[in-house]
Amino acid sequence: MEIRSLSPEQLSIYATIPISFWVHSIYRIDLIETGLGGFRLCEEKVEKPWFKDYDAEESPLEWSKLFDLSLWGFFVAFEGELPVAGAVVALNTPGVNLLEGRKDLAVLWDLRVIPELRGSGIGRLMFLHAADWARKRGCRQMKIETQNINVPACKFYSRMGCELGMIHRFGYAANPKVSDEAMLFWYLTL
């Protein structure tokens, strides 16, 4: 396996790697003392699993229409010529609110592995590659957004040493398709 850097013009290669998954459980967010005592995340099985495809909401092919990608890092792992995993890191980009206006913060914008190889360690390699890339560009932290419906991703980021920095229960309230999901923001110290 070889990890290669891509240019924004090569996002069509990146987009061939699926990011979809089946939701079998979620993290229910319980308030402690109406939130003054904090939150508790409780994993619970869903009654009827559903298929989630992030690309159906926003394809990688749309990113260049929305943002200046000139400072972003795009990485794809290849087995031979087959793209099997990818990671994208955003830096210092106007309009990317996740960057909080900080020049020392990177955002792991996207991480994906083909379904057949999930759990094989390739995601870990891509994550470490992305973190190293951000560190070499002067970033002190890397931030990752996921949702309470993506339990496997949350567990992965925790295993990778990330800390849950913020829960935004109403972060998607304006989007009826995902208004029942909560934003979870993870931070890795680089």
**Does residue 111 lie in a domain region?**
yes
Residue 43: both structure tokens together:
């994993």
Structurally, how many domains does the chain consist of? Answer: 1
What pLDDT is recorded for position 37? 94
- Tell me the pTM: 0.94
**Does residue 32 lie in a domain region?**
no
Average pLDDT over residues 92-101: 94
Give the model's confidence band at 101: pLDDT under 50 very low, under 70 low, under 90 confident, else very high: very high
Looking at every residue in the chain, the average pLDDT score rounds to: 96
What pLDDT is recorded for position 165? 96
* Sheet bearing 73-79, strands edge to edge: 2-6, 73-79, 82-91, 105-113, 141-147, 183-189, 163-168
| pLDDT tens-digit map of 146-162 | 999 999 999 999 999 99
Domain range enclosing 183:
2-18+59-189
The CATH number linked to 115 is 3.40.630.30
- Please give the Cα distance from 32 to 26 (Å, whole number): 19
**Does residue 9 lie in a domain region?**
yes
**Does residue 53 lie in a domain region?**
no
